Amino acid sequence: MALRNIRVDDDPILRKHARPVTEFNDRLFDLLDDMAETMYKANGVGLAGPQVGVLRRVVVMDVSEDRNELIELINPEITHTEGSQTGNEGCLSLPGLCGTVTRPMVVQVKAQNRHGKWCLYKGEGLKARCFCHELDHLDGILYKDKLDEGTELFRPSEDE
Ligand code: NI
């Protein structure tokens, strides 16, 4: 496994549309392994292909406290949402910043696993927020595009 370079700020690749994964091979496994390692090292809860310069529809996530519940999503699609939540969001590609975004409270996602099998995932709260945030990355959308009306990006205080 190897760490990948996280693209940040105005890197144009963050604004591009990622293509579906069609080959479930060693190259994909390496990418997924590297993305997980990079996410854990950076202390993030999620990372999408474009953030490491790969325009493919792949996401890794882990919203667990113990950092031991890795989720790999290939070609993910949101199939159902319920309710809403308003809270602060950050992104490894926008270091040091935070913003208030309203997202669904419950999100159901259909995605392939690394072997190409379709699986169903359900998330509530932070996990639901993370599904939305990471899937947006695959379409070139950043959370700062979706800030609640009347709010702005801010820098969370160090001691928070
Ligand atoms: Ni992000």
For the segment 71-114, what is each residue's pLDDT rounded down to a tens digit? Answer: 999 999 999 999 999 999 999 999 999 999 999 999 999 999 99
Residues 30-44, mean pLDDT to the nearest whole number: 98
Model confidence, pTM: 0.96
* Residue 132 CA to ligand 1 centre (angstroms): 10
The average confidence (pLDDT) of the chain is: 97
* pLDDT given for residue 99 in this prediction: 98
Q: Is residue 7 part of a domain?
A: no
Active site residue 134: yes
Query: Distance between CA atoms of 31 and 54, rounded to whole angstroms?
Result: 9
Asked if pLDDT for residue 160 goes beyond 80, the answer is no
DSSP state of 27: H
157 or 61, higher pLDDT: 61
- Report the percentage of the chain scoring pLDDT > 90: 97
* Residue 116 CA to ligand 1 centre (angstroms): 24
Pairing label, strands 85-89, 99-103: antiparallel
Q: Is residue 80 part of a domain?
A: yes
CA atoms within a 13 Å half-sphere pointing along the CA-CB vector of 38: 23
Q: Is residue 158 part of a domain?
A: no
* Residue 146 CA to ligand 1 centre (angstroms): 12
Residue 127 lies in domain: 12-146
Q: Is residue 154 part of a domain?
A: no
Query: Distance between CA atoms of 8 and 76, rounded to whole angstroms?
Result: 23
Q: Is residue 91 part of a domain?
A: yes
Query: Distance between CA atoms of 37 and 114, rounded to whole angstroms?
Result: 16
- Residue 156's alpha-carbon distances to 81, 90, 159, in angstroms, are 29, 10, 9
Domain count, the chain: 1
Q: Is residue 125 part of a domain?
A: yes
* Residue 58 CA to ligand 1 centre (angstroms): 13
* Residue 81 CA to ligand 1 centre (angstroms): 20
Asked if pLDDT for residue 116 goes beyond 70, the answer is yes
Q: Is residue 6 part of a domain?
A: no
Asked if pLDDT for residue 158 goes beyond 80, the answer is no
Q: Which of 23, 37, 82, 134 is catalytic?
A: 134
- CATH number at 73 reads 3.90.45.10
Asked if pLDDT for residue 61 goes beyond 90, the answer is yes
Query: Distance between CA atoms of 80 and 90, rounded to whole angstroms?
Result: 24
Q: Is residue 160 part of a domain?
A: no
* pLDDT given for residue 1 in this prediction: 81
